[in-house]
Amino acid sequence: MNIVLCGMMGVGKSTVGIKVAELTRRRWFDTDTVIADRHGRISDIFEYYGEAHFRELEAEVIRKLSKEDELVISTGGGSMMNHENCELLKQNGKIFFLKASVETLLKRVLIDETRPLLRVNSTDERLKELLAERTPVYEHVADYVVATDDRTPDEVAEEIVSLLQKAKK
Ligand code: S3P
């Protein structure tokens, strides 16, 4: 069984994922990092090949990772908008939706130039739109919803581990 983290960009999926992997002694993969290692920077892929091409690469990585076991997988913010990705990740994984308010997300992402979806139209409105569109999908696919506002990555990671332990009992 894999541990899968989903949620909006900037919510801390990678930082928390690394910590969960340490606590549970699992291997950690981040879909964006796998794509970037193979194909170059995410912002360049968006710029030169377009978002649709990026989504194909993302789906390909998810197909591969979801066949493995005992991983922690941090997904890119848009991954769960593809139904096939959700199905594959759910087959062999527990999905944790890391939830944050728009204020928390704004603090973390608007200064980050590497996020192509926000770079072109770097306004609160775009982030709010994405949040409104995606929150119901994250909530639907998730086995657990974990609040992250005003909490450290360590606290969030510990909650995830404790939810998993409770589920085993
Ligand atoms: C995206 C989020 C990014 C990355 C890409 C698209 C999105 O990942 O996959 O820029 O659609 O929300 P993070 O959620 O890790 O920032």
CB 72 within 8 A of CB 3: yes
Burial 45-75, CB ≥16 within 10 A → b, else e: bbeeeeeeebbebbeebbeebbeeeebbbbb
What's the maximum distance between 2 C-alpha atoms anywhere in the chain?
A: 49
Q: Which residues of the chain have pLDDT under 70?
A: 110-123
Tokens of 52: 């649709």
Residues having CB within 6 Å of any atom of ligand 1: 9, 13, 32, 42, 76-78, 115-117
Measured CA to CA, the distance from residue 127 to residue 22 in angstroms comes to: 31
**pTM, rounded to two decimals:** 0.93
pLDDT at 124: 79
Query: Atom 2 of ligand 1 has which residue's CA nearest to it?
Result: 77
Distances (CA, A) of 69 to 24, 28, 144: 13, 11, 19
Q: What is the pLDDT of residue 107?
A: 80
Q: Could you report the per-residue pLDDT of 106-155, keeping only the tens digit for each?
A: 887 765 666 666 654 556 788 889 999 999 999 999 999 999 999 999 99
Using the mean position of ligand 1's atoms as its centre, give its distance from the Cα of residue 77 in Å: 4
Q: What whole-number percentage of the chain has pLDDT above 70?
A: 92
Residue of 32, 54, 55, 73 to mutate, ligand 1, most atoms within 8 A of C-beta:
32
